[in-house]
């Protein structure tokens, strides 16, 4: 194995468990400013002294400012290391890191505080080698999990030579190291129903039932679900809220629908399938968020081959369905690679974990990919 990669990965791994324990100890669900500030303070302490730290406005109003850490060098390449510090686990379900065999359990371990630890570790490994790069920047955002606003960091980093994102890692079915080079576009559609309230016992037919209209709408648009079709479109109703009392015809309600496809334009047909009115209940659709797709398979093929040679084992580019901030950068930074974090499972649940041995193996992968970018 390339000696620089081996030594750097060993140093990252030696600190990774302690750093992950510290980060997981902080409860930082999306929107919690105090938790985000504490997590950012920890990451700032983990960074090398060469890093110049800047706080920049978050894409989501009211959230803690994001962090950019910049390390200047004397080379020619610019590299972005990308992560997020927010989790979906609320304070009431938070728990500190615990070990069970080779697994490290805790909120955000794989999505993606384990990845943040590796991103900061890669920056630390590169800091003493300024001749390799013009700039290495670490961007850690505080709102990735629940963002509904436009991502505001594209202009600053567009034109960088590569973006490496540290969402959770994986392996292929053959046991090879895998990274993510393709993601679907993601969209969240909201349907708001407006009917008319009435007493469900004495005057049930005077009401206009928003709940029934939303239920029928959910069934109808779910028929557009076609993951094997030309757009690989998935349409999944996920949340419905309606009604305030057991004896009142519900006058209002909301339906949320999660959609994924190769192209975000595929979502238009789903929105168009919702009528303006159903059984005298008004229906209004709105896209709460649209995340672009990502396809860097061809652009990264040579990069992954060179990186694999440095660790003497293959690194395979694979697709993944979930959304990621890497998708925002991919149209502007062709060499975008995601899934560089440690391997684990149970993301977004109380049983989330990382495989402890993967902290070192995935540090090798991430550092090999970074060096392959900078040596190109």
Report yes or no: 371 and 131 within 8 Å, Cβ to Cβ.
no
Alpha carbons 374 and 353: distance in angstroms, whole number: 32
Q: Where are the domains of the chain?
A: 3-183+293-374, 187-291
Alpha carbons 243 and 250: distance in angstroms, whole number: 4
**What is the DSSP pairing of strand 135-141 with strand 78-84?**
parallel
What phi and psi, each to the nearest 5 degrees, are found at residue 254?
A: -140, 140
What phi and psi, each to the nearest 5 degrees, are found at residue 236?
A: -130, 105
**Secondary structure of residue 234 in the 3-state scheme:** strand
pTM: 0.92
**Secondary structure of residue 341 in the 3-state scheme:** coil
Report yes or no: 353 and 105 within 8 Å, Cβ to Cβ.
yes
Q: Which two tokens stand for residue 361?
A: 């193996």
Half-sphere exposure of 114 (CA within 13 A, CB side): 35
pLDDT value of residue 322? 80
83: closest CA among 12, 207, 167? 167
Would you give per-residue pLDDT tens digits along the chain (376 residues)?
999 999 999 999 999 999 999 999 999 999 999 999 999 999 999 999 999 999 999 999 999 999 999 999 999 999 999 999 999 999 999 999 999 999 999 999 999 999 999 999 999 999 999 999 999 999 999 999 989 899 999 999 999 999 999 999 999 999 999 999 999 999 999 999 999 999 999 999 999 999 999 999 999 999 999 999 999 999 999 999 999 999 999 999 999 999 999 999 999 999 999 999 999 999 999 999 999 999 999 999 999 999 999 999 999 999 998 889 999 999 999 999 999 999 999 999 989 999 999 999 999 999 999 999 999 8
pLDDT value of residue 134? 98
Q: Which two tokens stand for residue 345?
A: 């499972």
Radius of gyration, alpha carbons of the chain: 23
Q: What CATH number was assigned to the domain covering residues 187-291?
A: 3.30.70.360
Homologous superfamily (CATH) for 3-183+293-374: Zn peptidases (3.40.630.10)
364: closest CA among 9, 2, 120? 9
pLDDT value of residue 247? 97
């Amino acid at each position: 194995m390339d000696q620089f990669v081996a030594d750097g990965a060993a140093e990252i791994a030696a600190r990774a468990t302690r750093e992950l324990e510290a980060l997981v100890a902080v409860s930082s669900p999306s929107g919690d400013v105090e938790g985000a500030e504490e997590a950012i303070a920890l990451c700032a302490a983990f960074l090398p002294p060469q890093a110049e730290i800047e706080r920049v406005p978050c894409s989501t109003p009211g959230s803690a400012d994001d962090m950019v850490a910049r390390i200047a060098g004397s080379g020619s390449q610019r590299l972005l290391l990308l992560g997020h510090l927010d989790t979906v686990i609320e304070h009431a379900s938070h728990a500190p890191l615990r070990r069970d065999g080779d697994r490290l359990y805790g909120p955000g371990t794989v999505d993606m505080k384990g990845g943040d630890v590796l991103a900061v570790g890669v920056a630390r490994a590169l800091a003493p080698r300024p001749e390799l790069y013009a700039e290495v920047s670490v961007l850690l955002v505080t709102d990735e999990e629940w963002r509904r606003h436009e991502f505001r960091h594209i202009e600053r980093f567009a034109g960088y030579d590569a973006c490496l994102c540290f969402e959770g890692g994986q392996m292929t079915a053959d046991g090879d190291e895998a990274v993510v080079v393709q993601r679907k576009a993601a969209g969240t559609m909201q349907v708001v129903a407006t009917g008319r309230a009435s007493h469900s016992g004495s005057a049930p037919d005077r009401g206009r039932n928003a709940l029934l209209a939303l239920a029928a709408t959910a069934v109808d648009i779910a028929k557009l679900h076609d993951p094997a079709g030309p757009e690989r479109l998935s349409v999944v109703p996920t949340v419905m809220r309606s009604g305030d009392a057991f004896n009142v015809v519900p006058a209002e309600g909301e339906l949320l629908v999660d959609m994924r496809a190769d192209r975000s334009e595929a979502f238009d047909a789903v929105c168009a399938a919702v009528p303006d009115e159903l059984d005298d209940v008004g229906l209004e659709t709105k896209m709460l968020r649209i995340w672009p797709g990502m396809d860097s398979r061809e652009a990264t093929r040579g990069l992954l081959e060179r990186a694999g040679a440095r660790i003497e084992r293959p690194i395979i580019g694979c697709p993944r369905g979930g959304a990621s901030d890497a998708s925002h950068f991919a149209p502007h930074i062709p060499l975008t690679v995601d899934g560089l974090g440690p391997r684990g499972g149970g993301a977004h649940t109380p049983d989330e974990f990382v495989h402890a041995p993967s902290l070192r193996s995935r540090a090798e992968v991430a550092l090999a990919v970074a060096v392959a970018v900078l040596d190109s």
